[in-house]
Structure 1
């Protein structure tokens, strides 16, 4: 599958300012959502690391590809609801945390943005997933949420993703 944008996608890219991992704590705007899934941490981590799986369980994700070896510095490209993103992994602590900055996107989402996801084991064997979106937002950040409150939209999206992921992980896989 080509990493090029679909023909119908806009040609304009919006560059984001490069930030380091500490931006997750220093960004002017932070959204933190928490959900849980009845699956072990390693299984959840493995699904997050499998780019081909994302369209099966994360809402609005059309495609994800990775360039380079897994870990810090890996390039991740994603297509979400028609918006293309070029991202760099800046946090990789298997199987506990991963985070990436957005280098550029085809929507003016933010001047700078980092997303951090952490995976914590629950006493009953499931996983608590915490998703932090930290940014210096621009007018395009909420393009998917329409008229909904953005934090509520993100929470609903993570809850839907974890429900979908639970079904995806439980489904029989082709031999």
Structure 2
């Protein structure tokens, strides 16, 4: 059953009870990486856990479906190309969650881009524990997604 989450703003990324931060370097320049982040349908082509993605609300939001059937209706809360792209989850079918925001920060690095992804969330105690346990899987998913995106942008 879909549930509406607490609306959060960009500062939630720094204050959330659970925060996972991952960084990787890419050969692609920040402008190209940022363009890929804004290309919502393209996420399904480089982020393996995303099975479907479509923009909604003239690009102000996103409908995301993950493999396994988890769905998110998201609102873009910061789009400052080519440095920052962030969104919050407004509605999901994931149990136990109260709030989610994700932030992608891009900085020039060695002729390419350093990508920092922050996953920030709050929920029930059981949900927070499950998210902490899932950190390793998130790290692998991020690593694989960044590699796939870099290959795609440098093809």
TM-score if structure 2 supplies the norm length? 0.89
CA contact under 8 A between 1:107 and 1:140: conserved in structure 2? no
Mapped partners of 2:153, 2:137: distance in 1: 24
Deviation at 1:149, TM superposition (A): 3.9
Mapped partners of 2:71, 2:134: distance in 1: 20
SS in 2 for 1:59: coil
SS in 2 for 1:56: helix
SS in 2 for 1:131: strand
Which of residues 149, 164, 169 in structure 1 aligns to 2:148? 164
| Unpaired runs of at least 5, structure 2 | none
Deviation at 1:50, TM superposition (A): 0.7
SS in 2 for 1:79: strand
Higher helix share: 2
Which of residues 122, 135, 140 in structure 2 aligns to 1:136? 122
Task: Give aligned pairs, total.
Answer: 153
Mapped partners of 1:64, 1:142: distance in 2: 27
Mapped partners of 2:129, 2:62: distance in 1: 21
Instruction: From the superposition, tell whether residues 141 and 168 of structure 1 become closer, same or farther in structure 2 (CA, over 3 Å).
Output: farther
| Partner residue in 1 for 2:49 | 60
| Unpaired runs of at least 5, structure 1 | 1-11
| Partner residue in 1 for 2:20 | 31
Mapped partners of 1:109, 1:162: distance in 2: 28
Instruction: From the superposition, tell whether residues 105 and 42 of structure 1 become closer, same or farther in structure 2 (CA, over 3 Å).
Output: same
Deviation at 1:142, TM superposition (A): 8.2
SS in 1 for 2:13: helix
CA offsets 1:60-99 (integer angstroms, 9 cap, x no match): 11111112344xxx11110111111100111111110011
Cα RMSD for the two superposed structures: 2.0
